[in-house]
Structure 1
């Protein structure tokens, strides 16, 4: 589709710059991460994070879950949309740590040995 300026043989500076910027990919943003929150009373809510980075979104959701737990007193199960497993409360465990390390940490925490 040709613009009216191209039809008359004139160049439109704004249109040329717009096409240049769009061809370089400026303004294209990654979709924001969404978390599914299952509250203690059975409600399911979706929280849209401000960040597109997964580690920043993890911190953001952990703060929201901690605030909800403090306000209601009920535990919150949550996950990022598209994941198969749920997280419990606002504890953040590094995903790269092994099962043994996670179990040891929970054991120490349970018996108040940490």
Structure 2
């Protein structure tokens, strides 16, 4: 079952950047890709070196695919589906749906019933 939690306001997230929000003990990286008019959310934990850093990563596009690069290791991941876009295809990110309602950002998380 999916539940939507209030993460922050639109003004809390820098244009073309990210922030870290928490849902319980889970850290989620929330990105406002303003150049594309899109919002994305992924796990904040970089699976490559296991550091909570992705919310501070640089976002951009690769062959039209929105991506984030880890600020420490430069591994790149798709913001759409979490797959690794770098040479190491063994790691990927969990992604979350995002919706904006009246300047409020909500992130969808799956919870057990």
Give the TM-score taking structure 2 as reference length. Answer: 0.23
Please state which structure has a larger fraction of its residues in helix: 1
Give the TM-score taking structure 1 as reference length. Answer: 0.23
Taking CA–CA contacts closer than 8 Å with sequence separation of 6 or more, which of the two structures ends up with the larger relative contact order? 2
Give the structure with higher Rg (CA). 1
